[in-house]
Chain A
């Protein structure tokens, strides 16, 4: 039975680079996928592109490619990524210039575009799901709208023979499903196989999260060598069954428990995982440890895909101002609480009315609230004030007020940090499939 090996070279935009190099060198891969585009990352990219038309792609693209391209080229590993973010064409040119510099003859990049649907969204005046009203009624300052595309453009790009495929907003599992469909010739309505492939993609898309990252709990779930965590690869056969593993000698662990945690990561209904390609069913998936760091995956399925695509909509949503200060030793909690009370009162005195605010004691109640805070008093706490503001000036004011606690607040306050940032929030909507068209642009490929 035909098999392919697909590696996962990144779980998010800023992920470690060496594990991808290790996969490219020692993974005996056919494909190396880099999933680097969280929901908000693309909106940040759109903002960067507005400021500079040649930017808006993943900031680590050049460094990553410089590191992995020589091994990928030598070992004939094809790369698939959404690192194009808001500007896949510019990203394609960056990769081509790195390839030229490295002397990779006839290197060819296929760029997939078509996910930017801001104009269509405005023309159709679609309903924003979280806001619950149409775009024009929402009063929101919309910055970007990118549809989650499926495998269509990616498969077409792979058919071009390109060494590397660069897209923007495509669904994460589609990056992994595309090479399976391309290699095995799966029918586009073989929902069971598409469901199985989507499951494999979902398991791989967060890279280290299935090889022992985001898992360790000392004494309970010990993981060796997390500083040298190996990223995962899947050996996939043409029936859609797979084994998840990693490069021998790398850190981390692949076991049934890591696979189970990742299967349910960011999943709601397990029998209805919506992607542009299929409605995947993970409810009967099973894992079987067949050797050390080798786990077989079986049992996923799928139902026909829906007629709509999800669109990520980015909008400007005011500002957040923050300030923090620490207290330690006897009575630290009381002094931290006094610090928060002072800041609250200062806001009133200054006539400042926060739109929304949080007053936390980090080390005591910042993560799970007051009701679940520790019985035992911690040795140190960090008082933290975070406020939603309508202007940047107000956001700066929040941090400054916390800073004044140095000389005006409780005894022994130290280590002030403050920040003021613009908020780029996300909503979503559904767009009809016929409004979204993938197109492919080929760069390079000639003998130069």
Chain B
């Protein structure tokens, strides 16, 4: 299945850093995403979109993971050449991941 079937997500930006939350609908799936969606896997999944490292934070109290992706926004909202200068659409790419 895809992450989209069990979780939802929102992207935020600060400078050239993007953060993507991954939140399970049902708490029983938290262990599954914690196991399957590692920082390494997310780094590979985003490929050349993310030049820097990906750091993962765990929030078991709400059944969520938070991925902080450095050097991911073409210099950040103020100077990016990208169509999506904030990287707001990146959460949708994460939800396409198969677990």
Contact = CB atoms under 8 A, between A and B. Distances in A.
Given A260-B62, A283-B61, A423-B78, A428 B93 contact: no
A266 interface: yes
A269 interface: yes
| Residues of B contacting A: mostly | mixed
- Which of under 10, 10 to 19, 20 to 34, or 35 or more describes the interface residues of B? 35 or more
B19 A268 contact: yes
A438 interface: no
A425 B21 contact: no
A227 interface: no
A130 B16 contact: yes
A372 B81 contact: no
A261 B49 contact: no
Given A368-B90, A372-B93, A40 B77 contact: yes
Given A257-B8, A268-B68, A428-B15, A387 B81 contact: yes
Contact of A368 (B21, B75, B78, B93): B93
A234 B50 CA distance: 36
B4 interface: yes
A152 interface: no
Contacts of B12: 264-267
Given A320-B81, A423-B79, A260 B64 contact: yes
A223 interface: no
B29 to A, nearest CB: 14
A261 B4 contact: no
Interface of A: 39-40, 130, 214-215, 217, 220-221, 257, 260-270, 282-287, 299, 317, 320, 356-358, 360, 362, 366-369, 371-372, 384, 386-388, 423-426, 428
B59 to A, nearest CB: 6
Interface in B45-63: 47-49, 55, 57, 59, 61-63
Nearest to B18: A266
A130 B15 contact: yes
B25 to A, nearest CB: 7
